[in-house]
Structure 1
Amino acid sequence: MRTLLLAVFAVFSLSSLTAQEYRIVKGGVTDSLPIPTGGSDTYALYTPSNYNPGQEWPVIFVFDPKGRGATTANLFRGAAEDQKYLIASSNIDLKSKPIDSIIKTATAMMNGVLNSFPVDPEMVYTAGLGEGAQVGSALPLIYKQMAGVMAIGNSFVNPKYLDRNNPYMFIGLAGNKDYMVYEMESYLRFYDNLNFPTEVYYFDGKEDEWPNTSVISNAMSGFTLEAIKNGARPKDQEFIQKLYEDEVAYTETLRRTRNYYAAFEKLERMEEKYKDLGFEDEIEDRKKAVKKTDGFKSQRRDFNQAVAFEKEQQAEYEYLLIDDIMTANFQNIGWWAYQVDELEKLQKGSNDAKSNMAYRLLGYLDFLTKREFDSIIKSNASIDTKIFMSVLRTAISKNDPEAYLKIISLAGSDGDYETALLYLEDLLKTGYDDMESLYNIEGALDLQFSEEYNQIIKKYLGESKFFSENAEEN
């Protein structure tokens, strides 16, 4: 987070750029528009079918962590058409660039759009997923007129630098299988305490997954209604009615798919969203109808029990992990593997509350052990501690090659060839096929020339660099 903050303040203002003429597809996505940085970075732009450059438009700047600009713009397309937004969606691969570079490029993208298209400066918004949510939620520190941020699965907040005199709307979205759901709720409480307008939306999904178009549309309507309440958009009762009916249709989908508790929770949030707009009685009637449905009470009970158990487990996992790391307790690796197996069984169960909880706990375990792994490998910890942490990572994240490669490196440099060969074969069993990397592992040079090492590689990949055809094969 500190790195992100420094990157944000490395860009002090939006510089003026010359507006350019673009051939834009109305009602469609125009891809590969250049970001005015002098580099090769681009973005995709969606404009509604009735786009008119003679009037000002609200705009949402969207950041996908993998830079899938056009694909992501299309997720917002239906809502942008109905609610009349421009969508500028970045093609920047956020996972492959340093954060200072990303912030500068994102700022240049905003600047280019604001200077090239007829944007209403009071209705500028951002939306992002994961790392993209962090970038999007940092941009209000640069563009002080920001009207709203839609953060999906993550965010960036620093109370010290937040401008309380320029409040914006914060909309948080979280998948019900995403371990970050509670972190997103803490961000919402932070903004609530500052009296910033907030909304929260939940959807059926894991970390690093975009919600479906219906959820995105409902979330965008939060921006739209807030703009209507503030007088930035005209109060069109017919338009408000359509927004309401679209959202009610979503709750009805939840109810018809027997997600009664989720439908009830959604209706409760709609009460606040549509407050003073004439829908209070109807929403209350719908809530009462859902509460009377067979299955509502049991779903609510299951949800509350799962959440309580989950929070206890998170605290226990963190405590036990630190204790095992301090003692490099290899004997407990089996216990951690058992936890993973049990959670994977729960994922496949018929109880939705427990299944979603299992997804979140596995995600949390993955996050927790990756955090400790990264810290310990970079530290001056003993080789036993580093190997323990690497072995534990393979038990938690069975298909992540990083820990396997690190064990081969550590064991090879320590002369423990038996362990190195064991984890080489375990790595190849996961389907790993980057042969070049297997011959560039630090500390394992002697091992890489050995007959045993090359035999294992040939067994799984069909060839090896130093395999002798005359050598005895297994």
Structure 2
Amino acid sequence: MIKKILLFFLVLPLVCFSQQLKIAKGIINDSLAIKGDSLETMSLYLPTKFNMSKAWPVLFLFDMNGNSKKTMSMFTVAAEEEGYILASSNNVRDTVSLSENVLIANRMLNTVYEILPIHKEQSYVGGIGDGGRFASLLPTFIRDISGVLSCGAAVANTEVLVRKNPFYFIGIAGRSDYNYREIMQSKEVLDGLKFPNLLIVFEGEHQWAPKDELTRALRSFTLSAMAKGNIMKNDSITEHYFENSLIKANNLLAKDKPLLAENVLDNAIAVYNPLGNWDSLKTSRKILRRSKIYRAKKRFERNYFLKETLTKEDYGYYLEEDILTYNYNNLGWWNFQMSELDKMDKSQNEFEQRMSSRLRGFLNALISDSINLIATDKEIDLEALNFLYMLKTITEPQNHEYYLKIISYSALIEDYGTAMFYLEELLKTGYNNTNELYDLEHTALLRITPEFNALVAKYLNDSRYEIPKE
């Protein structure tokens, strides 16, 4: 009861579209109407210290699956600490054209600008994966976007970047993320174009960064705004970031992570250069780079990057050949490749472990892209799709979707032996959704056979249709 009373007093009445819009502070407000389209909605987060008397920075987040609330929840701690408003559209989707998504995003931005006091020179966009790529395109189409925060994705198209309209790009990537190398290369391009940018690296895969790294990213945006003179300089904020960077770098060194420590120092120097002279950071980095442990790990990283590049080329070449020839015989080779990655996962070599994770992610993304490409053709090559579904059961053995697709297709072409084989492989994974299994498309004849029901009964202790007794 107490919580409900507190929440009531945090409700903020605002005038919006001739209606009174109530927005609670400190929680995610979902399904708020967007001006210009009665069917479009957004989620909004206001920090608990929010008030209407000053202009606030805002981060617009994008999830291409329309899951704005989940995406926003990853940022609430950082937004609260750094004093940022968060907004996210529920309607931006990967099934919608780029032009329509841009219009949807623009309507959301204009709605937020209209109802809240936003500092127009502290307007940022961001997302993870495809959401981050989409966000990196928005400054090309929408004015007054000061920066992009992209987690696990590089700039979508560096060719459209305009030096006269630079934005601050912050990329965040796990060292085991299959997009890590691409993001590193994107940074090199941005550096060459003199585009302000940072690359924040953490220990992880293709995932949202830890909350402290997201907080550092927002703080970097704030310090950049101070350096440009867009907001008043705050010495306590700059000194805290400076001290925190040194402490973080030293802690990483103590954990035998000199390359991550270098990344922290690189970013701190880039952030602080416009704000003052921070020679101690440069000295610390110089000492770090001269150390034997740093040089040894840097050499290991380069060697495994080279090996990873060669392996990716093999994956791309053989996958293309196998799709064109429906080379089911090569599934054994792919299974061997996965067993090799499994061995690397257990390696004592940290660089080999990360390479294995990146290769696995790269291959799964490559196969998924091939599936999407074929599935959207005017004339769908069902045989090629079936091969890719079989390959997915090797590269993603716990993903039930592809087993079901194979069973359905095999039943359609009356290849019941293959259907039964993949049914058993599916049940071995622990799958137990009997309703979905018995409603599977094209399996009307298959699912009433004694063999089908006997297999289901063997693994699930029950079947829909009675098994004839001998």
Are the aligned partners of 1:60 and 1:88 in contact in 2 as well (CA < 8 Å)? yes
Shift of 1:99: 6.7
The whole-number CA distance in structure 2 between the counterparts of 1:134 and 1:100 is 14
Task: Give yes or no for the alignment of 1:45 onto 2:54.
Answer: no
Are the aligned partners of 2:252 and 2:258 in contact in 1 as well (CA < 8 Å)? yes
The whole-number CA distance in structure 2 between the counterparts of 1:378 and 1:23 is 43
Q: Which moved more, 1:184-193 or 1:455-464?
A: 184-193
Are the aligned partners of 1:214 and 1:250 in contact in 2 as well (CA < 8 Å)? no
Are the aligned partners of 1:146 and 1:168 in contact in 2 as well (CA < 8 Å)? yes
The equivalent of 2:12 in structure 1 is none
The whole-number CA distance in structure 2 between the counterparts of 1:74 and 1:420 is 42
Shift of 1:273: 2.6
The whole-number CA distance in structure 2 between the counterparts of 1:276 and 1:109 is 33
Are the aligned partners of 1:19 and 1:112 in contact in 2 as well (CA < 8 Å)? no
Secondary structure of the corresponding residue to residue 445 of structure 1: coil
The equivalent of 1:368 in structure 2 is 366
The equivalent of 2:298 in structure 1 is 300
Shift of 1:341: 1.6
| Of 325, 329, 354, the match for 1:327 | 325
Residues 385 and 102 (structure 1), Cα distance of their counterparts in 2 relative to 1, 3 Å cut = closer
Task: Give yes or no for the alignment of 1:257 onto 2:255.
Answer: yes
Q: Deviations over 1:207-265 (max 9, x none)?
A: 1x111122112222221222112110112333211122223332233222221222123
The whole-number CA distance in structure 2 between the counterparts of 1:77 and 1:406 is 39
Amino acid at match of 1:154: A
Amino acid at match of 1:365: L
Residues 413 and 176 (structure 1), Cα distance of their counterparts in 2 relative to 1, 3 Å cut = same
| Of 228, 235, 238, the match for 2:236 | 238
The whole-number CA distance in structure 2 between the counterparts of 1:173 and 1:47 is 23
Shift of 1:359: 0.4
The whole-number CA distance in structure 1 between the counterparts of 2:73 and 2:444 is 49
The whole-number CA distance in structure 2 between the counterparts of 1:239 and 1:326 is 58
The equivalent of 2:222 in structure 1 is 224
The whole-number CA distance in structure 2 between the counterparts of 1:293 and 1:160 is 38
| Of 271, 274, 277, the match for 1:273 | 271
Residues 279 and 69 (structure 1), Cα distance of their counterparts in 2 relative to 1, 3 Å cut = farther
The whole-number CA distance in structure 1 between the counterparts of 2:217 and 2:297 is 25
Shift of 1:318: 0.8
Are the aligned partners of 2:166 and 2:195 in contact in 1 as well (CA < 8 Å)? yes
Counterparts of 1:383-462 in structure 2, within 5 Å, are 385-462=384-461
Amino acid at match of 1:200: L
Residues 442 and 100 (structure 1), Cα distance of their counterparts in 2 relative to 1, 3 Å cut = farther
Are the aligned partners of 1:43 and 1:89 in contact in 2 as well (CA < 8 Å)? yes
Counterparts of 1:128-139 in structure 2, within 5 Å, are 128-139=127-138
Q: Which moved more, 1:363-372 or 1:180-189?
A: 180-189
Q: Normalized against structure 1, the TM-score is what?
A: 0.85
Q: Normalized against structure 2, the TM-score is what?
A: 0.85
The whole-number CA distance in structure 1 between the counterparts of 2:454 and 2:156 is 52
The whole-number CA distance in structure 2 between the counterparts of 1:259 and 1:330 is 43
Are the aligned partners of 1:94 and 1:132 in contact in 2 as well (CA < 8 Å)? no
The equivalent of 1:247 in structure 2 is 245
The equivalent of 2:9 in structure 1 is none
Task: Give yes or no for the alignment of 1:343 onto 2:341.
Answer: yes
Amino acid at match of 1:174: A
Residues 93 and 168 (structure 1), Cα distance of their counterparts in 2 relative to 1, 3 Å cut = closer
Counterparts of 1:169-188 in structure 2, within 5 Å, are 169-188=168-187
Secondary structure of the corresponding residue to residue 44 of structure 1: strand
The whole-number CA distance in structure 2 between the counterparts of 1:310 and 1:212 is 26
Q: Deviations over 1:343-371 (max 9, x none)?
A: 12212322221111110000011111222
The whole-number CA distance in structure 2 between the counterparts of 1:377 and 1:458 is 34
Secondary structure of the corresponding residue to residue 270 of structure 2: helix
Secondary structure of the corresponding residue to residue 245 of structure 2: helix
Shift of 1:146: 0.6
Q: Deviations over 1:101-142 (max 9, x none)?
A: 755544333222211111011211012112321342333244
Residues 242 and 74 (structure 1), Cα distance of their counterparts in 2 relative to 1, 3 Å cut = farther
Are the aligned partners of 1:46 and 1:73 in contact in 2 as well (CA < 8 Å)? no
Shift of 1:150: 0.5
Q: In percent, how many aligned pairs have the same letter? A: 30
Q: Deviations over 1:269-301 (max 9, x none)?
A: 432332243454211232244346563333222
The whole-number CA distance in structure 2 between the counterparts of 1:136 and 1:17 is 26
Q: Deviations over 1:54-103 (max 9, x none)?
A: 11111111234566656654543454344432223456685788877755
The whole-number CA distance in structure 2 between the counterparts of 1:93 and 1:347 is 36
Amino acid at match of 2:344: L
Are the aligned partners of 2:81 and 2:215 in contact in 1 as well (CA < 8 Å)? no
Aligned pair count? 453
Are the aligned partners of 1:172 and 1:201 in contact in 2 as well (CA < 8 Å)? yes
Secondary structure of the corresponding residue to residue 318 of structure 1: helix
Amino acid at match of 2:318: L
Task: Give yes or no for the alignment of 1:157 onto 2:156.
Answer: yes
Shift of 1:159: 5.9
Shift of 1:383: 6.1
Residues 23 and 242 (structure 1), Cα distance of their counterparts in 2 relative to 1, 3 Å cut = farther
Cα RMSD of the aligned pairs, angstroms, is 3.1
Residues 81 and 418 (structure 1), Cα distance of their counterparts in 2 relative to 1, 3 Å cut = closer
Secondary structure of the corresponding residue to residue 295 of structure 1: helix
Q: Which moved more, 1:94-103 or 1:398-407?
A: 94-103
Secondary structure of the corresponding residue to residue 341 of structure 2: helix
Residues 278 and 101 (structure 1), Cα distance of their counterparts in 2 relative to 1, 3 Å cut = closer
Amino acid at match of 2:44: A
Are the aligned partners of 1:19 and 1:116 in contact in 2 as well (CA < 8 Å)? no
